[in-house]
Structure 1
Amino acid sequence: MSASLSLATLFVAALGAATILPFQSEVVFVGLQAAGAAPVWLLVVVASVGNTIGSVITYLMGLGLERFRGRRWFPVSDSQLDRAQRIYNRWGLWSLLLTWAPFGDAIALAAGVMRTPWPVFTLLVAIAKTGRYIVLALATAGVIGAAG
Structure 2
Amino acid sequence: MTGVLDLAVYGYAGLFLASFLASTVLPFGSEALLLLLINKGFDPISVVMVASVGNYCGACTTYYIGLVGRKDLVEKYLSIPQQRLDNAEKWFTKYGVYSLLFTWVPVIGDAITAMGGVMKLDFKTFSVLVFLGKLMRYAAVACMALGLLS
TM-score scaled to structure 2, two decimals?
Answer: 0.82
2:120 is paired with a residue whose SS is coil
- Give the drift of 1:80: 6.4
Match of 2:137 in 1: 132
> Which residue, 85, 107, 110 being the options, matches 2:112?
107
Match of 2:25 in 1: 20
Alignment pair present for 1:5 and 2:21? no
Q: Output the CA distance in 1 between the equivalents of 2:89 and 2:15.
A: 32
Q: Output the CA distance in 2 between the equivalents of 1:29 and 1:109.
A: 25
Percent sequence identity over aligned pairs: 36
Match of 1:144 in 2: 149
Q: Which letter maps to 1:63?
A: L
* Residues 92-114 of structure 1 deviation map (CA, whole Å, 9 limit, x = unaligned): 10101111211211111111111
> Which residue, 83, 97, 101 being the options, matches 2:101?
97
> Which residue, 50, 54, 60 being the options, matches 1:50?
54
Q: Which runs of 4+ in 1 moved over 2 A?
A: 73-77, 79-87
Alignment pair present for 1:29 and 2:18? no
Unaligned runs of 5+ in 2: 1-5
- Whether the 8 Å CA contact 2:71–2:118 is kept in 1: the answer is no
TM-score scaled to structure 1, two decimals?
Answer: 0.83
Q: Output the CA distance in 2 between the equivalents of 1:135 and 1:80.
A: 26
Q: Which letter maps to 1:131?
A: M
- Give the drift of 1:67: 6.9
- Whether the 8 Å CA contact 2:85–2:112 is kept in 1: the answer is no
Match of 1:62 in 2: 66
Q: Output the CA distance in 2 between the equivalents of 1:98 and 1:89.
A: 14
Q: How large is the Cα RMSD of the aligned pairs?
A: 2.5
* Residues 14-69 of structure 1 deviation map (CA, whole Å, 9 limit, x = unaligned): 00001001110001100111111x21111011000000111111111111231746
Number of residues paired by the alignment? 140
